[in-house]
């Protein structure tokens, strides 16, 4: 799918490959349906290149670096070296926050979802 251009964006993260098929996104947008992509920085850059000004880019930021570390280590679901890799990636992503149109601080899932829905409703 990558080589044939069927993906709007794709990336490799933590040893896994992820991507967004282009056609379902195109169909949703043609039908006037808001479309939300949960993607990493590399994916956002690819989408920005592909769609130029036809999207709103939202950066979800942790309340603080300390809280991000607490969340990642507190899960206890990943080996310490994986957590360290994720934190290294997070530093790069946080440094690129100004590439996005809007930044939302993820203090709680409920609140950031409310803010995201409000953004989607405002931009239809």
Any idea what the CATH number is for the domain that residue 116 is in? 3.40.50.300
Element (H, E) at 103: strand 102-105
Give me 72's structure tokens: 């990642």
Query: How many CB atoms neighbour CB 44 within 10 A?
Result: 21
Q: Are residues 123 and 90 part of one domain?
A: yes
Q: What share of the chain is helix, strand, coil (3-state, %, to 5)?
A: 50, 15, 30
Q: What is the maximum span of the chain, computed from C-alpha positions, in angstroms?
A: 44
Dihedral sign of CA atoms 81, 86, 92, 95 in order: negative
Q: Are residues 39 and 77 in the same domain?
A: no
Same domain, 21 and 68: no
Give yes or no for residue 122 having a pLDDT over 90.
no
- pLDDT recorded at residue 2: 86
With a cut of 90, say whether residue 15 has pLDDT above it.
Answer: no
Q: Please tell me the total count of domains within the chain.
A: 2
User: If residue 8 lies in a helix (H) or strand (E), which one and from where to where?
Assistant: strand 7-13
Say yes or no: 29 and 87 in one domain: no
Q: What percent of the chain has pLDDT over 70?
A: 98
In a shared domain, residues 92 and 106: yes
Instruction: Give the per-residue pLDDT at 14.
Output: 67
Are 75 and 43 within one domain?
A: no
The answer to whether residues 34 and 65 belong to one domain is no
Same domain as 109, residue 60: yes
pLDDT of 61: 96
Whether residue 73 sits in one domain with residue 118: yes
The tokens for 9 are 């964006």
Enumerate the β-bridge partners of residue 59: 103
- Answer yes or no: are the C-beta atoms of 61 and 105 closer than 8 Å: yes
> What tokens were used for 84?
């360290």
**Inter-residue contact 10 to 20 (CB < 8 Å):** yes
Is 46 in the same domain as 78? no
Q: Which structural domain, as residue segments, surrounds residue 12? A: 1-51
Instruction: Give yes or no: residues 75 and 18 share one domain.
Output: no
Examine the domain organization and report whether 89 and 62 are in the same domain: yes
């Amino acid at each position: 799918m990558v080589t044939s251009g069927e993906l709007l964006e794709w990336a490799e993260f933590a040893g896994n490959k992820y991507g967004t098929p282009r056609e379902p996104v195109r169909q949703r947008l043609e039908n006037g349906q808001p479309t939300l992509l949960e993607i990493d920085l590399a994916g956002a850059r690819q989408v920005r290149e592909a769609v130029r000004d036809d999207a709103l880019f939202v950066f979800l930021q942790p309340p603080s670096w300390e809280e991000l570390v607490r969340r990642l280590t507190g899960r206890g679901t990943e080996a310490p070296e994986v957590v360290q890799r994720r934190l290294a990636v997070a530093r790069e992503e946080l440094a690129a926050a100004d590439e996005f149109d809007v930044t939302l601080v993820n203090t709680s899932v409920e609140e950031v979802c409310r803010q995201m829905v409000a953004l989607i409703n405002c931009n239809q």
